[in-house]
């Protein structure tokens, strides 16, 4: 595991009208994290916040000074995107093709998702781990954020940022 990495954990359903705003502000947040030493960004790329985060990493890497950052994709294989619209599946495929590393995850259900994130957080060097999140109590992301907090990871809750109010 990298000494300095960021895990994106987030709400799955976002209103279309705020996705562009989230992506713009994620770029700002990513730049700050990179300045603080983060160079690896990890996400499952699921619809919503995690897709926005992955696309922001990809967009930022187009700039010469950020080409060193890496995107790790937790891939749930066949189950990932099974019931998504075609546009969402194409977006996920773009993320998949742009990832520096793909970590296959067996199972692909919500319990497996939570278990994998828990394992990543438990193995992390807590002092160097940041969790950028938009937690939602309905899908287990709030539980993961609490685990990260207990492990000593730095938490960036998008809801608590100036631009995340009302999400």
For the chain (length 167 residues), average pLDDT per consecutive 10?
72 75 85 88 85 92 94 77 81 92 71 65 62 71 79 77 56
H or E element that contains 50: helix 49-61
Domain positions in the chain are 5-160
d(CA 67, CA 64): 5
| 71 conformational bin, left if phi > 0, alpha if psi -120 to 50, beta if neither | beta
Per the CB < 8 A criterion, the answer to whether 54 and 61 are in contact is no
Do 154 and 125 form a contact (C-beta atoms < 8 A)?
no
For 135, list phi and psi in degrees, rounded to 5: -70, 150
CATH level 2 (architecture), domain 5-160: 3-Layer(aba) Sandwich (3.40)
pTM of the model: 0.82
Can you give the pLDDT at residue 162? 64
């Amino acid at each position: 595991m990298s000494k300095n990495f960021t895990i994106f954990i987030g709400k799955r359903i976002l209103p279309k009208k705020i996705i562009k705003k989230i992506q713009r502000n994620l770029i700002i947040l990513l730049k700050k994290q990179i300045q603080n030493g983060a160079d690896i960004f990890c996400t499952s790329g699921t619809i919503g916040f995690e897709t926005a985060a992955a696309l922001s990493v990809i967009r930022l890497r187009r700039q010469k000074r950020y080409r060193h950052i890496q995107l790790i994709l937790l891939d749930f294989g066949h189950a990932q995107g099974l019931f998504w619209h075609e546009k969402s599946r194409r977006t996920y495929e773009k993320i998949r093709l742009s990832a520096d590393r793909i970590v296959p995850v067996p199972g692909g259900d919500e319990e497996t998702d939570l278990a994998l994130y828990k394992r990543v957080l438990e193995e992390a060097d807590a002092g160097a781990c940041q969790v950028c999140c938009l937690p939602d109590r309905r899908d287990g992301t709030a539980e993961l954020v609490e685990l990260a907090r207990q492990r000593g990871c730095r938490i960036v809750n998008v809801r608590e940022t100036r631009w995340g109010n009302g999400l």
